[in-house]
Amino acid sequence: MKIVDLDGYGLNPGDLDWAGFKQLGDFSNYDRTPADPAIIAKRIGDAEAILTNKTPITRDVLEACPNLHYIGVLATGFNVVDLVAAREHHVTVTNIPSYGTDAVAQHTFALLLEITNQVGLHNNAIHAGEWTHAKDFTFWKRPLMELTGKTLGLIGAGNISQAVAKRAHTFGMKVIFYNHRPKATDLSWFKQVPLQTVYEQADIISLHIPQTAENTGMINAAALAQMKPGAILINTARGGLLDETAVAAALNAGKLGALGADVVAAEPILADNPLLTAKNCYLTPHIAWAPTETRARLMSIAVHNLVAYQAGQPINVVS
C-alpha cells in the first residue's frame, strides 16, 4: 500500500517516529501542503491511503485521485474532508477521537490560572528587577483571584468538558453546564442548566463544543450582554465560536474581564485580528493538543486506524 502524509509537521516536527506507518506500506510524507487542489492531487498521485491534518480534501481532489480509498484525519475534527464526496467515491475516512481529553482540560486550566494568578506578568517583573528594588517583601501588579467558590459555566458536556468539570470541582468551584440536549450524569455537583443561566450565573465560562453552522459566532454582543460584569471567557474549542470583534469590544470596555483562548477564527492568527490589541486577552497558538505524550497517543491511534482498515474492519469511521 502506498501511503502519503500531506502535512505531517504539525503532528511530528521531529520528536516522534513514523515507523508505525512505514511498516504498513510505502510511506512518504510532506511537512506541509498548500491548499491548492492541483498540488494536493499531484502529491497524492496513485496512493491508496493518505493522512491529513489541515490539508483540505475536496471533491476536486477526490475526483483527480481514483486510486485513493482511505483518508486518515490526524485530528478529532474532520471538516477538512468533503464527506459527501468521499462517500460517493467509496473512500473510508477516519478520525482520532478522545486522544487529547486530559491535555485540553489541562490547558483550559493553564489559561484560567494565568488569568487569575498572573504568573507570567510577575515572573517578568521579577526578572526586570522589580522585586529586587521593592520596598516590601511582596507586591502584585494586578488583582489576583481565588477560584474556590466561583461558578464555572461549561458550554458542552463531552469528555473534555467533564474532565474540566472534575478539575474545577477539586478547586472548590461550583460547576454548571449547558448542552444542546439532556445529558445524564452521576455527578451530583455537575448541574445542567439553560444556556441563559450559564451566561447569567457563571464567573468563568469555558467552551467545549464543535463548531457548526448553527453556533458559529454564538459568543456575540447579545450573549456578552447577558454575562456577569468582569466574567472570564475561556475558549479551547474552536475560534469561530466567538464573534471576535464583539469579544474584543467587550474586553476593551471592561464588560468582559478576560479572555483566554487557544484558538482563533483564522489560523495562523491574522495581523488585524482585533483580539491582538484587546485588553486582558491571553492567547496561545493552538497548542492544547500538543504535549509530547498526547501527540504520541494520536500517532498510535492513527496507525491502529490504518491497520484496522487494511484488515477489512475499519474503526473510528466518520464517512
Residues with active-site annotation: 238, 267, 286
First to last CA, the chain: 21
- Helix 159-170 vs helix 101-117: angle between axes, to the nearest 10 degrees? 40
Torsion of CA 9, 12, 14, 18, to 10 degrees: -110
Three-state secondary structure call for residue 207: strand
Torsion of CA 178, 232, 104, 55, to 10 degrees: 90
Residues 6+ apart with CB under 8 A from 68: 44, 47, 48, 49, 50, 62, 89, 91
Helices (H) and strands (E) in the chain, counts: 11, 12
In the block, cell 503532528 appears at 11
Residue 140 main-chain phi, psi, to 5 deg: -140, 140
